């Protein structure tokens, strides 16, 4: 029963990691853009929810919707105004710019919210659970996070394979240089990709805000989890990030069972094992 419980809790945690990873994978897939500030954008979303719920007194669901819309818009504009300028054949300038952004965001959050650990209360929802038998209880919040992850990936899948925008995003991933010959602007497509990725980031960050304590400095480690989930799952596969997230989550849950201090390390070890055995990830597109 213990093992089953670990698998369930790890899988549910994996949903959150899949949400962390999806935005990163989307931006890298469409425009070879490595966003070092990805984790900090997640944390910014968490703080935005904090403001929406605690300062403005909004219902958490309304807060999530608001933060998602805000982040999507900011993502579109940020790409259009700033990040498109550094996109080129060279992969290094975006890394440097987003590294700078990461530091700016961490310090701005520190200035605005102090280094204190925060958490957004979800009105009892965060502690409620479903019991399955006597030994297994599934938290409603982790369960909804997992379902949200599946929902988000489902929507991404639908956008990619059943809409004109998705066709454009796939074409841009293939060969961005000639997409303008199809009558579509690269700058606009890139910005839409970042807008969608930022909406996913917002959902991930707001979930994080209700699930655990956060402070301005935790962004880089969320980035690391996102990277690991993407690489375990394999690039170019939307559902691969879910598998990657689940493997990472289960490894961490098992690690935590052995020793509380072993939780994070166990995830990294699982990542290294996959990297050594399947360097292109488990479900990479050939």
d(CA 4, CA 98): 40
CB nearer to another protein: pick between 60 and 233? 233
Residue 164 binds another protein, judged by CB under 8 A:
yes
Closest CA to 21 of 237, 261, 259, 272: 237
Task: Give CA 227 to chain center in angstroms.
Answer: 9
The window from 55-63, 79-87, 172-180, 243-251 that contacts another protein (CB under 8 A) reads: 172-180
d(CA 215, CA 46): 9
The answer to whether 146 touches 130, Cβ cutoff 8 Å, is no
The correct pick among 119, 170, 268, 278 for binding another protein (CB under 8 A) is 170
Q: What angle do CA 149, 66, 152 make, to 5 degrees?
A: 15
Residue 132 binds another protein, judged by CB under 8 A:
no
CB nearer to another protein: pick between 178 and 258? 178
Residue 88 binds another protein, judged by CB under 8 A:
no
Residue 178 binds another protein, judged by CB under 8 A:
yes
The window from 13-21, 177-185, 240-248, 253-261 that contacts another protein (CB under 8 A) reads: 177-185
Closest CA to 243 of 284, 205, 210, 194: 284
The window from 92-100, 112-120, 140-148, 180-188 that contacts another protein (CB under 8 A) reads: 180-188
Residue 156 binds another protein, judged by CB under 8 A:
no
Residue 139 sits at φ, ψ, to 5 deg, of -65, 140
- Location of structure tokens 């399947």: 278
Residue 163 binds another protein, judged by CB under 8 A:
no
CB nearer to another protein: pick between 158 and 221? 158
Query: Nearest approach, Cβ of 185 to another protein (angstroms)?
Result: 5
**Residues 46/251/232/88 CA torsion (nearest 10 deg):** 30
- β-pairing verdict for 129-132 and 136-139: antiparallel
Query: Nearest approach, Cβ of 175 to another protein (angstroms)?
Result: 6
The window from 56-64, 107-115, 146-154, 174-182 that contacts another protein (CB under 8 A) reads: 174-182
Residue 184 binds another protein, judged by CB under 8 A:
yes
Residue 235 binds another protein, judged by CB under 8 A:
no
The correct pick among 107, 129, 163, 185 for binding another protein (CB under 8 A) is 185
**How many residues sit in the footprint of another protein (CB under 8 A)?**
19
d(CA 244, CA 228): 7
User: Residues near 8 by Cβ (< 8 Å), separated by ≥ 6?
Assistant: 136, 138
d(CA 138, CA 4): 12
The window from 20-28, 51-59, 86-94, 173-181 that contacts another protein (CB under 8 A) reads: 173-181
Binding site residues, another protein, CB under 8 A: 164, 167-168, 170-171, 173-175, 177-186, 285
């Amino acid at each position: 029963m213990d093992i089953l419980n670990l698998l369930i809790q790890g899988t549910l945690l994996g949903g959150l990691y899949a949400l962390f990873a999806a935005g990163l994978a989307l931006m890298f897939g469409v425009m070879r853009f490595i966003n070092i500030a990805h984790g900090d954008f997640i944390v910014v979303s968490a703080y935005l929810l904090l403001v929406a719920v605690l300062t403005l007194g909004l219902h958490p669901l309304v807060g999530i919707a608001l933060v998602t819309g805000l982040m999507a818009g900011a993502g579109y504009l940020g790409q259009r105004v700033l990040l498109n300028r550094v996109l080129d054949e060279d992969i290094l300038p975006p890394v440097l710019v987003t590294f700078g952004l990461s530091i700016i965001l961490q310090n701005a959050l520190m200035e605005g919210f102090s280094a204190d650990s925060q958490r957004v209360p979800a009105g009892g929802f965060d502690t409620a659970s479903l019991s399955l038998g006597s030994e297994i209880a599934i938290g409603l919040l982790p369960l909804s996070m997992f379902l949200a992850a599946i929902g988000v990936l489902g929507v991404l899948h639908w956008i990619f394979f059943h809409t004109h925008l998705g066709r454009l995003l796939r074409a841009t991933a293939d060969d961005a240089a000639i997409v303008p010959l199809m009558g579509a602007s690269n700058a606009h497509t890139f910005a839409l990709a970042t807008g969608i990725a930022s909406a996913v980031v917002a959902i991930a960050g707001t979930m994080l805000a209700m699930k655990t304590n956060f402070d301005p400095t935790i962004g880089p480690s969320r980035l690391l989890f996102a990277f690991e989930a993407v690489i375990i799952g394999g690039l170019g596969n939307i559902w691969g990030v879910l598998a990657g997230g689940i493997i990472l989550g289960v490894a961490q849950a098992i690690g935590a069972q052995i020793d509380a201090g072993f939780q994070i390390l166990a995830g990294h070890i699982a990542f290294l094992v996959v990297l050594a055995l399947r360097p292109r990830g488990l479900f990479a597109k050939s």
